[in-house]
Structure 1
């Protein structure tokens, strides 16, 4: 067989072998890897390269060597899940770089990091002043975990004793101009609602590259024409629509309840809300 043909066949065989082994080892091998996984990956790649190029004429030897290294990696992962000591030995331990706002110089030397390198890692975390840091830990995989001092942390609703609704994952209901029915159902929307919202934005489904329903049930779209300006949702018309919906819901509740007391309460509040809508309509419509 010609040399090029042999290389082609070897490459196909080892491509399939590597795909199968990667599937067995899991996604961890293609995410942030530990030092051991880094060495294992390089070794497996080197063996595959040598056999593909024909430096080792026996394909079976190459498959066996790669399989052995893959099994060793898998075995190490399994043992690491069961033993913290073994995991620390293979993957390494985390190292405190900054503690109580003070740089730990001895730990920096131990990990062979310079101040400039730590400064660079902090900037990647949007921290530009080391004095703002309460704690910084160098993880075994090389990431830097940072805890800012309390006065430098972003203010949260919890800090202000505010209760907020839980966010929901956005649902992509339009992709490449095509409606995704399953996502529409998950978002609790129908096509009538979708067409109404698109009419408000002045676009058609065919012009929409991506359309999503956010946590609050609003529609956001990205169109094919990047020069086209999509109008932002108007607050006042939305408020008017919400008031009308609340008024309609109250009337519906009055019809559904069997309690005369509740029926009177619903009708009374529906009438008040209707009066408020009539008063505010000139200011909220458009």
Structure 2
């Protein structure tokens, strides 16, 4: 068999084996790898590269080497899940590097983390003063997690005592011009509803690159043709406007009538509708 065919066969077979080994090990993204996982990834890749190009080395040597470098990390992961001391030893521990706005110099030295590294990581999070940090911890992966002091954190709806509607994950119901029936079923909708919504927008499904339904049941679409304008969802604003108009009409009716009983009836229903508007307004904005 020619050498070039052997190289192709070795490369394909070892690549497939490496793919499954990596999948079984549950490898994380590169930025989340601990020391042991980083070393394992390098060695497995090196084994494949060496044995693909070295035809004098039997293929079973590569399989044995890869199996060893698969089974050891796999066992290490199993033991780490059950033993925290072992996990701390193999994966490392988190270290507090800033506490109450003060840098913990000893912990920085233990992790070989310079002051410049610390300041750079803080700037990545738009923090330019160490005194603005309440707490910062250096993770085993080298990532710095920071908790700013309360006065430096962004204001949330909870801080302002605002009641917001619950928000769920948007569902993608159209992709590449085709409806996704499973996604529609997940939100208790059907293709007929989808067709009706697209007709309101005067859009055909074949022209839709991506369509999503939010937690309020509103459909938004992105078209293949970026020059075409698509109207924004208007169901919620229209509903709120209609309710306000009805409430205003009831007040006008109450002012226009001379019958006391009818006037009280209009006023009472106007107040009920106003209460309903006050309760539902956060959900319709």
Please indicate, yes or no, whether the TM-score normalized by the shorter chain is above 0.5.
yes
With over 3 angstroms needed to count, the CA separation of the structure-2 counterparts of 1:64 and 1:12, relative to structure 1, is: same
Looking at structure 2, the residues matched to 81 and 30 of structure 1 have their Cα atoms a distance apart, in angstroms, of 20
Q: Deviations over 1:21-46 (max 9, x none)?
A: 12221243767210011111111111
With over 3 angstroms needed to count, the CA separation of the structure-2 counterparts of 1:111 and 1:42, relative to structure 1, is: same
Looking at structure 2, the residues matched to 68 and 173 of structure 1 have their Cα atoms a distance apart, in angstroms, of 45
Residues 213 and 220, structure 2, Cα contact 8 Å, conserved in 1: yes
Residues 178 and 205, structure 1, Cα contact 8 Å, conserved in 2: yes
Looking at structure 2, the residues matched to 202 and 152 of structure 1 have their Cα atoms a distance apart, in angstroms, of 47
CA RMSD of aligned residues (A): 2.6
The question of 1:138 aligning with 2:138 is answered yes
Residues 97 and 136, structure 1, Cα contact 8 Å, conserved in 2: yes
1:172-251 to 2 correspondences below 5 Å: 172-234=172-234, 236-239=237-240
Question: Which residue number corresponds to residue 164 of structure 1?
Answer: 164
Question: Which residue number corresponds to residue 82 of structure 1?
Answer: 82
With over 3 angstroms needed to count, the CA separation of the structure-2 counterparts of 1:122 and 1:55, relative to structure 1, is: farther
Residues 56 and 62, structure 1, Cα contact 8 Å, conserved in 2: no
Looking at structure 1, the residues matched to 198 and 2 of structure 2 have their Cα atoms a distance apart, in angstroms, of 61
For structure 1, which segment, 2-11 or 108-117, has the greater mean C-alpha deviation from structure 2 after superposition?
A: 108-117
With over 3 angstroms needed to count, the CA separation of the structure-2 counterparts of 1:187 and 1:242, relative to structure 1, is: farther
Question: Which residue number corresponds to residue 254 of structure 1?
Answer: none
Looking at structure 1, the residues matched to 44 and 109 of structure 2 have their Cα atoms a distance apart, in angstroms, of 32
With over 3 angstroms needed to count, the CA separation of the structure-2 counterparts of 1:166 and 1:139, relative to structure 1, is: same
Looking at structure 1, the residues matched to 133 and 171 of structure 2 have their Cα atoms a distance apart, in angstroms, of 37
Unaligned runs of 5+ residues in structure 1 are 245-267, 274-286
Looking at structure 2, the residues matched to 126 and 56 of structure 1 have their Cα atoms a distance apart, in angstroms, of 55
Looking at structure 1, the residues matched to 239 and 189 of structure 2 have their Cα atoms a distance apart, in angstroms, of 17
Q: Deviations over 1:1-59 (max 9, x none)?
A: 22211111111221121122122212437672100111111111111111111165111
**Deviation for aligned residue 1:203:** 2.2
Question: Which residue number corresponds to residue 94 of structure 1?
Answer: 94
How many residues are treated as equivalent by the alignment? Answer: 249
**Deviation for aligned residue 1:134:** 0.7
1:30-45 to 2 correspondences below 5 Å: 32-45=32-45
SS in 2 for 1:89: helix
TM-score, L = length of structure 2: 0.78
With over 3 angstroms needed to count, the CA separation of the structure-2 counterparts of 1:192 and 1:12, relative to structure 1, is: closer
SS in 2 for 1:222: strand
Q: Deviations over 1:95-137 (max 9, x none)?
A: 1111111122222222222233222222333434433211110
Looking at structure 2, the residues matched to 207 and 238 of structure 1 have their Cα atoms a distance apart, in angstroms, of 29
Looking at structure 2, the residues matched to 174 and 216 of structure 1 have their Cα atoms a distance apart, in angstroms, of 17
Residues 197 and 219, structure 2, Cα contact 8 Å, conserved in 1: yes
For structure 1, which segment, 127-136 or 57-66, has the greater mean C-alpha deviation from structure 2 after superposition?
A: 127-136
With over 3 angstroms needed to count, the CA separation of the structure-2 counterparts of 1:29 and 1:239, relative to structure 1, is: closer
Unaligned runs of 5+ residues in structure 2 are 246-267, 274-285
Looking at structure 1, the residues matched to 162 and 169 of structure 2 have their Cα atoms a distance apart, in angstroms, of 22
Question: Which residue number corresponds to residue 248 of structure 1?
Answer: none
Looking at structure 1, the residues matched to 64 and 130 of structure 2 have their Cα atoms a distance apart, in angstroms, of 50
Residues 94 and 139, structure 1, Cα contact 8 Å, conserved in 2: yes
